[in-house]
Structure 1
Amino acid sequence: MRTIGELHTALTLGYGFPGDADDFEAELAREINHSDPADLNGVVRLVEAFRGRVVARQDPDFDTAVAAAVAEIQAARGTRQ
């Protein structure tokens, strides 16, 4: 994903998390509408964040890592079910 268009396509096809495509569109519009034309750092940060979400979601070890982290937290809190 080298362009915003490619990121948009990936999100639209469901490669991110549920709701990411709509969230990206809303946040991108908000950033563009509130950014100084000479300073688009907010847009850059947003694109990087959503690109990271797509990459994380496509990582085959992501779900396993999240489940392990949740189990550790539950064990530390004594709430393991």
Structure 2
Amino acid sequence: MDVQPKLKTKPADAANQKARRRRKSLFKKASEYSSECDADIHLVLRMKKSGKIFVLVSNTKDWPLSQHQLKSYHPTPIQMSLSDPESKP
């Protein structure tokens, strides 16, 4: 009876796998929010180390708005940062 040794995962591989799972989960939640709440979603992720960019757009016809369109949009868009993700808009 041959016993296969357990493959050890390298820390970098484990971190990449975790990031992929979190990105997939984030995109899934954003898609669900878009369909359940009738909202347009434009989500952009840029990985700092690799520079890879991932984009999720729920409505490609009208979105994304340009910076100029956002500035002239009414009501004024609410901008949030990572320091206040729980604050209510």
| Fold shared per TM-score above 0.5 | no
TM-score computed with the length of structure 2 as normaliser: 0.28
Bigger-Rg structure (1/2): 2
Structure with more strand by fraction: 2
TM-score computed with the length of structure 1 as normaliser: 0.30
Structure with more helix by fraction: 1
